[in-house]
Amino acid sequence: MVVVVIALGLSVVQGVRYVLGRRWPFGSYIGIMWAFFVAFATAELWSFRAGNWVFGFISFLALREYFSMVEIRLQDRPAILAAYASIPFMFHFVTVGWYGMFIISIPVYSFLAIPLLITLGGREKEGTVFSIGAIDFGLFLFVYCMGHISYLMSYSTWMAVMLILNVAVCDIVSRLLQEQGKPGWAALALSYFLPLPVTILFAVVLSPWTTIPWRHSAALGAMIPLLALMGRRTGSYVEADLGVAEETVGPGRGQILDNLKSLLLVAPIVFHYIRYFLDLP
Amino acid sequence: MKAGRLVTMSQAFIHVAVLRPLVRLFCGVHVTGAAHLQRLQRFIIIANHNSHLDVFLLFSLLSVRDIALTHPVADETYFERFPIVFALVRFLFQPVWIRRGHPDRKDDPLHGLKDLLDRGHNLVVFPEGTRGRPGELQTFKSGLGRLVSEYPGVPIVPVFLSGPERVLPKSSAIPLPFWSHVLVGPPQVCAGSPRDITQHLQDALHELAKSGVKRLRPRQRRLQSYQPAPAVAILGIDGSGKSTVSRRMAERLSMGGGACLVSDRLEFYENGEPKPLQPLVLDAARGLVSRYAKRARSLAHYKIPKLTELLLRDRMLAEVNRWYAPRIIVQDGSPLLNMAAWATLYGREDLSEDRLATAVGILAGQRHGIARSDPIFEELPELRHLDQLGLTHLVLPRRLVLLDLPATAACARIATRGEALQPHETEEKLKRLRDAYLKVVRIIDQHWRVPVLVLDATQPLDGLIVEAVRFLNVVLEEPSKT
């Protein structure tokens, strides 16, 4: 029932986008919302396992787009192969609920393997540090952070829905503020305080479904806009360095990164907050 | 006939059901200008060749009907070496084989191609011949021109592929997923000599490549060497109009590059227009301290906040360089020289010019050969504290303008503002401050070789500004000192 309502809602938004055409201010944001919706709906209606693998696929698409934009050398290819290969491992650990391995597989094993593989790929030494950094960052953002949303979904789909919904609110507000085009303290403060009541409201109203006590829900609602703000800041710097500007953003050119950047900090921190305070496995 | 039809159908099925999804997975194809390929009866596609995947990408552009009717031109001698690949390629793409490096053969090497064009089929040609270095276009082979000159009615579609050279580079065996971008150009119809046609088509593909490269190529890493912008300062006692002058200066100096005004407020100008930029935390802090200093009742209360404000204002130069990257910074007052001038205001008028020059040197971070026990630290205890705290790296401006105004005139101007008077805004103190500024400026000129322009501030403003701009503009032409 809820799934149908959300699907209808998204369809309406999609329709509005179609009607507005170029005047639509949110770019391809609706696309990523559809992707998350498919993941959640699959998890709710069919099985968590399948929904989890949808997340894995989103993660793959995002990583592929990111690697297409960074400058890589021929000898980084083994490391990039390893980066792609860690997606199935990561999401397998989520499926079986092996928390310990899920949390260390990328920061320990992948991050150790990648520099080694770069050295095994060829004898060029110049650019090693840059390559390690570029590959590790992509892996961290698009696989590790996405994995946290998926792991959150293994506790309860509604927790993940609450997270995505609140981040979406923050993103929409920030994009509208961006349209106004005013830098300054006021815009910064507004992009925190404008979504704040909405995020707290959503978090508290959804608390019977998320099973997070309302106090913690309110705290999460207050945290999310701030974390999303920090994530957007980081993401926008990454985008600028990769040469993604508003006029060139498109398929394979920062579209997914642009829409996921707010989640960079939100996903892991909210996940660990919930896991710690609710004492979850 | 029936068997042929079965082959065609299975071929199309494999393309649509197997190859295209795989191509999408590995190359995430993003096509621009696909409409150029539609509604063409017969065509020749020319594309740059960097990877074995090029042909898969090009075939994913075709309509289902065209799959069986399109033939890539391939080198038989290359594929002969791998029998399985040879059979597979022949089944999937039905290529026209040509033999490279056998020019002495009797029959026309383009015979096969002409035969297919006569039957209304399409061709895919990689006119560079072999796979080239990634991202570079090589010169076209002449065979293309000869072929096209005999078929002037067949449209040639140039296609630029960017990305497959990353998915499967020439020296690599394992494909990795990356996005590919396909640019389809407008169909070309050519006539003329074979040489002209080859050149024309090469230019067309080059043009297409150029339009896409900037947008599609992953950005190369490049670091700019950090070069702080030159700072110039406008000095003067309160009421001499230095705020107004420095603002107008920033406007005038911002032609052809950003100029930043470090004043009570931080402003940025570009081509004479103020441009809003992100706020700086340090500026907010400086504003707070400044407001606190202005509320001070006596000079004794004024000293510490004012000193802090000056230090923060000096740090602003580094912040401004880092965040705004202006071409020139106009300072409303120079923290370094203000400190030196104010030192005399706090009752040390007996300080000799040499001693003051030493103090300025210490503040500017050039304490060569001056011991901690030097008497200058006894005379100016604040200087010792600053030195101990490591706060003596203040910026010496590149050029200075002093707006000189008699204290009586200054007092009259301050009175017309109607604001509450600050503790030092009395005629007697302003007179001492003015003398101090003149002294400091003289020292700077003689000991530190900083060009100084002293202007009579009783003149009308416009004349002052014209003269000051002429004086300060030189900084922009000077080679930057490191």
Domains parsed from chain B with CATH numbers: 2-216 (3.40.1130.10), 231-477 (3.40.50.300)
Q: pLDDT band at A134, cuts 50/70/90?
A: very high
d(CA A153, CA A150): 5
What tokens does A220 get? 């999460």
- Say whether pLDDT at A26 is over 80: no
Q: With an 8 Å Cβ cutoff, are A74 and B219 in contact? A: no
Q: Answer yes or no: are the C-beta atoms of A148 and A271 closer than 8 Å.
A: yes
A271: nearest Cα among A229, A232, A238, A223: A223
Please state, in angstroms and rounded to a whole number, the distance separating the CA atoms of residues B423 and B175: 76
Complex confidence, ipTM: 0.79
Which of B31, B162, B176 should we substitute to test contact with A (largest number of A Cβ atoms within 10 Å)?
B176
pLDDT tens per residue, range A218-266: 999 999 999 999 999 899 888 888 888 777 777 878 888 888 989 888 9
How far apart (Å, rounded) are the C-alpha atoms in residues A204 and B318? 45
Predicted pLDDT at B106 = 61
| pLDDT score at B102 | 61
Query: What is d(CA A111, CA B338) in angstroms, rounded to the nearest whole number?
Result: 53
Q: How far is B392 from chain A (nearest CA, A)?
A: 31
**A175 part of contact set with chain B, CB < 8 Å:** no
Tokens read off for B241? 């109009």
pTM: 0.74
* Residues of chain B neighbouring A250 (CB-CB closer than 8 A): 30
Q: Which helix (H) or strand (E) covers residue A212, if one does? A: none
Kindly list the residues of chain B whose beta carbon comes within 8 Å of any beta carbon in chain A.
28, 30, 163, 166, 169, 171-172, 174, 176-181, 215-216, 218-221, 276-279, 284
Strands ordered across the beta sheet of B231-236: B273-274, B266-270, B258-262, B328-332, B231-236, B399-404, B452-456
Asked if A71 and B28 come within 8 Å (Cβ–Cβ), the reply is: no
How confident is the model over A155-186, as pLDDT tens digits? Answer: 988 999 999 999 999 999 988 888 877 667 78
Measure B444 CA to nearest chain A CA, in Å.
38
Q: How many CB pairs below 8 Å do chains A and B form together? A: 69
* pLDDT computed for residue A102 by the predictor: 93
Q: What is the pLDDT of residues A110-123, one digit of tens each?
A: 999 999 999 988 77
Please tell me the predicted confidence (pLDDT) of residue A200. Answer: 93
User: Are the beta carbons of B178 and A68 separated by less than 8 Å?
Assistant: yes
Who's near A66: CB < 8 A, 6+ residues apart? A138, A141, A142, A256, A257
A242 in contact with B at a CB cutoff of 8 Å? Answer: yes
DSSP single-letter state for residue A75: G
Q: Which of B217, B219, B223 to mutate to test the interface with A (most CBs of A within 10 A)?
A: B219
Listed residue (A30, A213, A63) closest to B176, CA to CA = A63
Q: Report domain extents, chain A.
A: 1-46, 64-155, 156-281
Are B215 and A253 an interchain contact pair (Cβ–Cβ within 8 Å)?
yes
Strand partners, B71: B123
CA atoms within 13 A on the CB side of A15: 6
- Interface contact flag, B163 A68, Cβ < 8 Å: yes
- Mean pLDDT per 10-residue segment, chain B (482 residues): 78 90 88 85 89 90 87 83 86 84 65 86 86 74 84 89 86 86 89 86 88 66 68 86 87 86 88 84 89 81 86 88 86 87 72 82 79 79 82 86 87 79 79 86 86 86 86 75 44
Of B282, B227, B225, B229, the closest CA to residue B258 belongs to B229
